[in-house]
Structure 1
Amino acid sequence: MRPLYVYDKSLLKYRFNDQHPFNQMRVKMTTDLLTDAGFLKDEDIIKPRPATDEELLLVHKPDYIEAVKQAGNGGLSDSQLESYGLNTDDTPTFDDMHEKSSMLVGATLAAVDEVMKGNAKKVLSLAGGLHHGFTGRASGFCIYNDSAVAIEYMRKHYGMKVLYIDTDAHHGDGVQWAFYNTNEVMTYSIHETGRYLFPGTGSTTERGDDDGFGFSINLPVDAFTEDDSFLSIFEQSIEKAIIQFKPDIILSQNGVDAHYRDPMTHLSLTSKSYEEIPRIVNRLSDKYTEGRWIAVGGGGYNIWQVVPRMWAQIWLAMLGEQPPAGRLPEPFIDKYRPRCKVEFPVEWQDDLSDFEDIPRRSDITEKNDNMLQRILMYLEQI
């Protein structure tokens, strides 16, 4: 059964301002890359829909949804905006904010419905992945939390046990806290340690409360962690988590801001990791969840040199394609290179001429491995 891809130009309207690092143009660039390379066909693409208020209320508080609606029309005072995390440097208000934000949530829900109705086993919705949104507050470029809404939607309407996998450089805090007290959702986040990076959470001791104790898994890796250490930790721990939890479906958040060229984090991954991560998830979904896998986007702030090539690998993994090598399609290069103000990549894999050797590589790897061993022991006890 061929996977499906959620896309429409309406998803590009979630835009704070021209100076803001969160730029959904990366979704269009990825779509163009896949289309120009011949991997994405018109018949693969489905349209998103806006999420209803009832669907948003599965996770978000009524007063917060109303505040977002009013903020998008200039209807809140500065103090009211501040109380909801709106109009900050991270999440400035913009016109029709509720409508444009609910479309991103609806795109992820459209992906869910396709899988639940049996129209596809795997669906990709790159516009989503807004994992910092809280039930009653905006945070970290995120107004509504599409992943949390989608997970609760699957629980309520389809009785699914959901494994949430987050490989963004930033901890998936909003999703974690939404399900911190339930054993029907497992949240798994591998991310840069919060000692150096927003949101400052995601320590190994955040394990869940009440019925949810043991169902929150965090693997904070040290700054400058590179491919081999990251992939070793991920592959060893994620299958163990799946075996212990026995999910019905996987929802993965695929931020690519752990790449060494991303301007907002301190990790050192290359295209090698972003070729392997989705293929690991694809293999595990086939093995443990009857192929059911929904993938969303997330972080990624170098839209020219990093995001399109790295995100394209998620779709290629769903198709069962091996990572392509060599030159990118000429139509894609011709379309975007003239607009790029930095050196534009022309091959699928990274040119590592600017990759700097990792300081304290052996120390970082040893520290990460010690953390992994603690988590593996912890998973044995669930």
Structure 2
Amino acid sequence: MSGRAQLMWDEGVIGYDFGRGHPMDPVRLALTKRLIESLGVERGPDLSVVAAKPVGDSTLRLVHRADYIDAVRRASLDPASADQRYGLGTPDDPAFAGMHEVSALIAGQSVGGAEAVWQGRALHAVNFAGGLHHAMPGSASGFCVYNDPALAIARLLELGAERVAYVDLDVHHGDGVEAVFWDDPRVLTISLHEHPGTLFPGTGWPQECGGEGAEGSAVNVALPPGTGDEGWLRAVHAVVPELLEAFGPQVLVSQHGADTHVEDPLAHLAVSVDAQRLAAESAHEWAHTYAEGRWLATGGGGYAVVDVVPRTWTHLVAIAAGTPVPRETEVPAEWLQEVYARTGRTGAQQRMTDGLEPHWRGWGAGYDPADRLDQAVRATRRAVFPAHGLLP
């Protein structure tokens, strides 16, 4: 083991840019990296910053169809020729010059992190530019061109992993990753997301449990709109740990979309940075408890690009590096200056906390059959727990 953690980063990932006015503003990546630097997280003794190469076609084809890869490459050379049959050139996924190259670069960071973890060059790896979980084998979707978490998992399987667990904490259903491994019992996908009746992509019902021969390998918790810290953390802990213990993964891959936050403009949950930080701590603990410490963490959604995303993902990196940032830490003045220089905004959040100390009731304390959150958790447990030999 050469180091505790790797931060997978290449400045080129900031080129993942759908254009002015698009919610997926790459400034969120730049500001996260600068906050990590400003707080000294990169100088920790157990963190290395590593740039991996873009994935090539042979790796992309582990998940994506050859005709789709060709379509992305054509649109990348000539955005005006983008073929909407492949989800390209749409309002969600506008084509842009260099789209193939930067998407392959982002995927390369997740695949490179997965390789480092599996081969023992690092215990943990983080690619906060990744987490593009909506991309399908044959189409772009939901701001995602290549599905880097699925590619990382597929590469782990190619390297010999027999059981990989994927935990998706984004506000949107991790539909692309689920679809790729729907029939594969070697991969357990767990997604906690806002109810599909109220949010894109409209999938992720508790009854979606995996294909024939892989029953119980897909797990979905559909959270009621308005769910806050207590309910969100209650749902996470009522579902994830028991399933991980039963499944026994060799590697944990997690997706930490910051769009569960109450200030996110595209969704309707009410989670704080403090709860997101606790969830990252839990993922770290799960990796050590259930997966011999092997952990690949990615970013994901998150459209409050100044006040939420940089703080949440800086906490994630610091936790992986073994140097957590204390909640009450003030953000450095130099970072606030960077925010102003890049966005023209003043008045960004001054501390690494929303000022909350979330608590939640464990599932073992009992459930309220009249509570919508408890109903959602109960539906998921009933749908999938018996397939793992667990009581619902």
**TM-score between both structures, scaled by the size of structure 1:** 0.93
1:326 partnered with 2:332 = no
C-alpha distance in 2, partners of 1:224/1:342?
Answer: 28
- Map Cα deviations across residues 260-316 of structure 1 (whole Å, 9 max, x no partner): 011000000012211100100111111111100000110001111110001111112
C-alpha distance in 2, partners of 1:101/1:36?
Answer: 27
Specify whether residues 6 and 322 from structure 1 end up closer, same or farther in structure 2 by C-alpha distance, changes over 3 A only: closer
1:125 partnered with 2:117 = no
C-alpha distance in 1, partners of 2:380/2:171?
Answer: 18
What secondary structure is seen at the aligned counterpart in 2 of 1:210?
coil
Q: Which runs of 5+ in 1 are unaligned?
A: 353-361
Q: Please, what is the CA RMSD of the aligned residues?
A: 2.0
Runs of 4+ in 1 over 6 A off after TM superposition: 362-365
Q: CA deviation at 1:92?
A: 0.5
Would the aligned equivalents of 2:368 and 2:374 in 1 still touch at CA under 8 Å? no
What secondary structure is seen at the aligned counterpart in 2 of 1:72?
helix
C-alpha distance in 1, partners of 2:92/2:243?
Answer: 33
C-alpha distance in 2, partners of 1:232/1:373?
Answer: 12
Q: 1:244-259 residue pairs with structure 2 within 5 A? A: 244-259=246-261
Would the aligned equivalents of 1:204 and 1:218 in 2 still touch at CA under 8 Å? yes
Specify whether residues 69 and 244 from structure 1 end up closer, same or farther in structure 2 by C-alpha distance, changes over 3 A only: same
What secondary structure is seen at the aligned counterpart in 2 of 1:295?
strand
Q: CA deviation at 1:76?
A: 7.2
Query: Structure 1 vs Structure 2: percent identity of aligned residues?
Result: 32
Q: CA deviation at 1:341?
A: 3.1
C-alpha distance in 1, partners of 2:203/2:266?
Answer: 17
Q: 1:52-201 residue pairs with structure 2 within 5 A? A: 52-74=56-78, 77=81, 81-201=83-203
| Aligned match of 1:381 | 387
1:273 partnered with 2:275 = yes
1:345 partnered with 2:340 = no
Q: CA deviation at 1:238?
A: 0.5
- Map Cα deviations across residues 332-355 of structure 1 (whole Å, 9 max, x no partner): 123224534363111111268xxx
Would the aligned equivalents of 2:31 and 2:338 in 1 still touch at CA under 8 Å? no
Structure 1 residue identity aligned to 2:331: L
| Aligned match of 2:18 | 16
Q: CA deviation at 1:28?
A: 2.0
C-alpha distance in 2, partners of 1:342/1:261?
Answer: 17
Moved more, 325-334 or 88-97: 325-334
Specify whether residues 14 and 365 from structure 1 end up closer, same or farther in structure 2 by C-alpha distance, changes over 3 A only: farther
Moved more, 95-104 or 155-164: 155-164
Would the aligned equivalents of 1:192 and 1:267 in 2 still touch at CA under 8 Å? yes
Structure 1 residue identity aligned to 2:149: S
Structure 1 residue identity aligned to 2:332: P
Equivalent in 364, 371, 375 of residue 376 of structure 2: 371
What secondary structure is seen at the aligned counterpart in 1 of 2:77?
coil
| Aligned match of 1:358 | none
What secondary structure is seen at the aligned counterpart in 1 of 2:381?
helix
C-alpha distance in 1, partners of 2:316/2:237?
Answer: 16
Q: CA deviation at 1:319?
A: 2.8
Aligned length: 371
Would the aligned equivalents of 1:182 and 1:210 in 2 still touch at CA under 8 Å? no
- Map Cα deviations across residues 25-47 of structure 1 (whole Å, 9 max, x no partner): 21221121121111113962001
